[in-house]
């Protein structure tokens, strides 16, 4: 076999697959190397199975509301059915990803790759070496587990997707996306959940009202929150695990999960042999064309530490292929990123938070908090939140933050006018769709309050 390629891609996840497929479509001879399953984190043990589990966990709430609308529901839940159906769907997606690469003429290699030179990649099992004009590193990341005694008894999101049975209770450490989303999933499926976070409120960096609103939602769903505390040790005690906390308290749980962040898969990849510099956290610094410090080596996706989101990895992979194999230099603009937290209630967010915007000049804040209509026949007091942040002079929308049902879908659409530089007047030109929650975005008459000269007024 002739093993010389225009491009060798390391990692068959969101970024690598998109780059490989597009580059091959533009006529490049491409090989992609994947050591685990084609599709990577998002498809196999990230966004997709997580969202399927989130759907499963939400039926519980719907059944509760249903009674206020006259329905009687006698429901039970079987984890093994959900797990089997999830596995089937993930296997289908994996086949679809493989077929897409095949169809584009990409050579798929199942092995572990190590870079051995600026133009060579070694396959660890096969023991052979591939030659490539360009190497694209799209090897993603893996869960980070704090180094504490008994950490091996805990699990991460990887194992949470493969559980044979649900635990009776779970302690989840962390206050970010994964910890919060999994706390919701497990609670919605009937597990007693405790969320342990070292800070003073979940989702640091998100808009304050949304953090507090989601926190209320978690508590309402029976999730116990422990703040400003760390997990110091895990001990096995019979079928359970004992958690030892930094305040000296010990408590038993059916399972313990770490949602304590992720690290780039740069270790043992041979990057040092070709002079690719790394950031302190192990990610690969790249320029706006995804170039590393070695001219023949590029990097996209989570491994670059830009933004660990699937659509970002895909956009970076596509821009790489455009630049190198379609003679169309394309930079990736990550200045306005919409993102969602698939919890209950849901968060959708884009642009500057109030705190960030207030340091940029005069701004106006439009804030609405109300019970979503579906709750009105129920005794649920939970509120929906819409916050728009606009430039005090031009009216340009700088940030939009939504908490409540459908927030992820809503923020996707808000991202379009915001990308076009829309102002509040542009939003107001749209006639409301009634009765909807999102009509708030086009019917705000005047700011709820403002900042002038960095000080809050009104
Ligand atoms: C639980 C969870 C939920 C998530 N939910 C969302 C969400 O809802 N929305 C969202 O946008 N993002 C979400 N993400 C993030 C998203 O999954 C990642 O941003 C995305 O998968 C990154 O793609 P990537 O191509 O950079 O890397 P990956 O998808 O991680 O792919 C890297 C691949 O490289 C392989 N690999 C690594 N080293 C080697 C080697 N040496 N040789 C061969 N192969 C190698 C790995 O096996 C892996 O398949 C979630 C992540 C997790 C963990
Ligand atoms: N809905 C989505 O789009 C989605 C969902 C899941 C993951 N993701 C992506 O994956 C990335 C990783 O998610 P994540 O939740 O693992 O990371 P994260 O950075 O969002 O959260 C990590 C949490 O762990 C805590 N932590 C870190 N080190 C710790 C330690 N030593 N001890 C105790 N606590 C510690 C942090 O304070 C933080 O609260 C996210 O940043 C996001 O980009 C996105």
Helix (H, G, I), strand (E, B) or coil at 133: strand
Rounded to the nearest angstrom, the distance between the alpha carbon of 445 and the centre of ligand 2 is: 37
* Residues written for the chain: 458
CA distance 339 to 341: 7
Q: Which two three-digit tokens encode residue 426?
A: 């542009």
Single out the residue of 290, 310, 311 nearest to residue 299, CA to CA: 290
| Known catalytic membership, residue 434 | yes
- Residues forming beta bridges with residue 287, ordered by sequence position: none
* Residue 360: per-residue pLDDT: 85
Task: Determine the residue of 9, 10, 11 to mutate for testing ligand 1's pocket, defined as the one with the most ligand atoms within 8 A of the Cβ atom.
Answer: 11
CA distance 54 to 182: 8
In the chain the domains, ranked by start, together with CATH numbers, are 4-143+263-325 (3.50.50.60), 151-260 (3.50.50.60), 339-453 (3.30.390.30)
Secondary element (H or E) of residue 79: helix 79-104
Strand duo 255-258 + 169-173: pairing: parallel
Ligand 2 neighbours (beta carbon < 6 A): 146, 173-179, 181, 198-199, 230, 259-262, 308-309, 339-342
Q: Is 289 annotated as a binding residue?
A: no
Contact 241, 253 (CB under 8 A): yes
pLDDT digits 0-9 by tens, 173-232: 999 999 999 999 999 999 999 999 999 999 999 999 999 999 999 999 999 999 999 999
Residues 6+ apart with CB under 8 A from 416: none
Where on the phi/psi map is residue 206: left (φ > 0), alpha (ψ -120 to 50), or beta?
A: beta
pLDDT digits (tens), the chain, 458 positions:
457 999 999 999 999 999 999 999 999 999 999 999 999 999 999 999 999 999 999 999 899 999 999 999 999 999 999 999 999 999 999 999 999 999 999 999 999 999 999 999 999 999 999 999 999 999 999 999 999 999 999 999 999 999 999 999 999 999 999 999 999 999 999 999 999 999 999 999 999 999 999 999 999 999 999 999 999 999 999 999 999 999 999 999 999 999 999 999 999 999 999 999 999 999 999 999 999 999 999 999 999 999 999 999 999 999 999 999 999 999 999 999 999 999 999 999 999 999 999 998 999 999 999 999 999 999 998 999 999 999 999 999 999 999 999 999 999 999 999 999 999 999 999 999 999 999 999 999 999 999 999 899 98
pLDDT digits 0-9 by tens, 63-89: 999 999 999 999 999 999 999 999 999
ipTM above 0.85, yes or no: yes
Spot the catalytic one: 60, 168, 360, 434. Answer: 434
What distance separates the 2 farthest-apart alpha carbons in the chain? 73
Q: Would you say the C-alpha torsion 384, 390, 395, 397 has a positive or negative sign?
A: negative
Pocket of ligand 1 contains residue 269 by CB under 6 Å = yes
- Residues forming beta bridges with residue 110, ordered by sequence position: 34
Rounded to the nearest angstrom, the distance between the alpha carbon of 434 and the centre of ligand 1 is: 40
Rounded to the nearest angstrom, the distance between the alpha carbon of 297 and the centre of ligand 2 is: 28
pTM: 0.97
Single out the residue of 21, 17, 19, 20 nearest to residue 42, CA to CA: 17
Q: Which two three-digit tokens encode residue 262?
A: 């992720």
Q: Would you say the C-alpha torsion 328, 332, 338, 344 has a positive or negative sign?
A: positive
> Measuring CA to CA, how many Å separate 268 from each of 117, 264, 265, 276, 424?
14, 11, 8, 13, 50
Residue 302 DSSP class? G
Pocket of ligand 1 contains residue 170 by CB under 6 Å = no
Instruction: List strand residue ranges (DSSP E) for 295-447, in order.
Output: 297-299, 339-341, 347-351, 363-370, 384-391, 397-403
CA distance 269 to 368: 50
Task: Determine the residue of 51, 176, 344 to mutate for testing ligand 2's pocket, defined as the one with the most ligand atoms within 8 A of the Cβ atom.
Answer: 176
Pocket of ligand 1 contains residue 417 by CB under 6 Å = no
Q: Is 51 annotated as a binding residue?
A: yes
CA distance 16 to 59: 35
Contact 369, 385 (CB under 8 A): yes
Contact 385, 370 (CB under 8 A): no
Q: Is 70 annotated as a binding residue?
A: no
Single out the residue of 6, 14, 18 nearest to residue 330, CA to CA: 18
């Amino acid at each position: 076999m002739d093993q010389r390629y225009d491009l060798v891609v390391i990692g068959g996840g969101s970024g690598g697959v998109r780059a490989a497929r597009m580059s091959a479509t533009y006529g490049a001879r491409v090989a992609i190397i994947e050591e685990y399953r084609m599709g990577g984190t998002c498809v196999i043990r990230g966004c997709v199975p997580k969202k399927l589990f989130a759907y499963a966990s939400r039926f519980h709430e719907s059944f509760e509301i249903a009674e206020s609308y006259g329905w009687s529901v006698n429901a039970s839940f079987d984890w093994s059915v959900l797990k089997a159906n999830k596995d089937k769907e993930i296997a289908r997606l994996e086949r679809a990803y493989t077929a897409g690469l095949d169809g584009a003429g990409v050579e798929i290699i199942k092995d572990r790759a190590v870079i051995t030179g600026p133009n060579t990649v070694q396959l660890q099992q096969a023991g052979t070496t591939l030659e490539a004009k360009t190497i694209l590193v799209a090897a993603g990341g893996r869960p980070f587990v704090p180094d504490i005694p008994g950490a091996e008894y805990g699990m991460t999101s990887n194992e949470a997707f493969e559980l044979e049975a649900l635990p009776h209770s779970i302690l989840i450490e962390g206050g970010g996306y994964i910890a919060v989303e999994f706390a919701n999933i497990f609670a919605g499926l009937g597990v007693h959940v405790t969320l342990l976070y070292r800070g003073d409120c979940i989702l640091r960096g998100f808009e304050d009202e949304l953090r507090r609103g989601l926190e209320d939602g978690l508590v309402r769903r029976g999730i116990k929150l422990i703040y400003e505390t760390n997990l110091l040790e895990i001990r096995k005690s019979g079928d359970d695990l004992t958690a030892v906390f930094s305040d000296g308290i010990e408590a038993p749980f059916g399972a313990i999960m770490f949602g304590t962040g992720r690290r780039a898969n740069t270790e043992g990849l041979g990057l040092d042999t070709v002079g690719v510099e790394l950031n302190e956290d192990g990610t690969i610094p790249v320029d706006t064309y995804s170039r590393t410090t070695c001219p023949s080596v590029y990097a996209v996706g989570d491994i670059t530490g830009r933004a660990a989101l699937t659509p970002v990895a895909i956009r970076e992979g596509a821009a790489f292929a455009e630049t190198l194999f379609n003679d169309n230099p394309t930079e990736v603009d990550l200045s306005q990123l919409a993102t969602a937290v698939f919890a209950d209630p849901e968060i959708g967010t884009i642009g500057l938070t109030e705190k960030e915007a207030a340091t940029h000049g005069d701004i106006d804040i439009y804030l609405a908090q109300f019970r979503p209509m579906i709750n009105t026949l129920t005794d649920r007091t939970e509120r929906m939140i819409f916050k728009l942040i606009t430039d005090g002079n031009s009216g340009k929308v700088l940030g939009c933050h939504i908490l409540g049902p459908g927030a992820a879908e809503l923020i996707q659409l808000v991202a379009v006018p915001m990308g076009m530089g829309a102002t509040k007047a542009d939003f107001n030109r749209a006639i409301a769709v009634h009765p909807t929650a999102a009509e708030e975005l086009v019917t705000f008459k005047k700011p709820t309050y403002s900042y002038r000269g960095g000080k809050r007024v009104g």
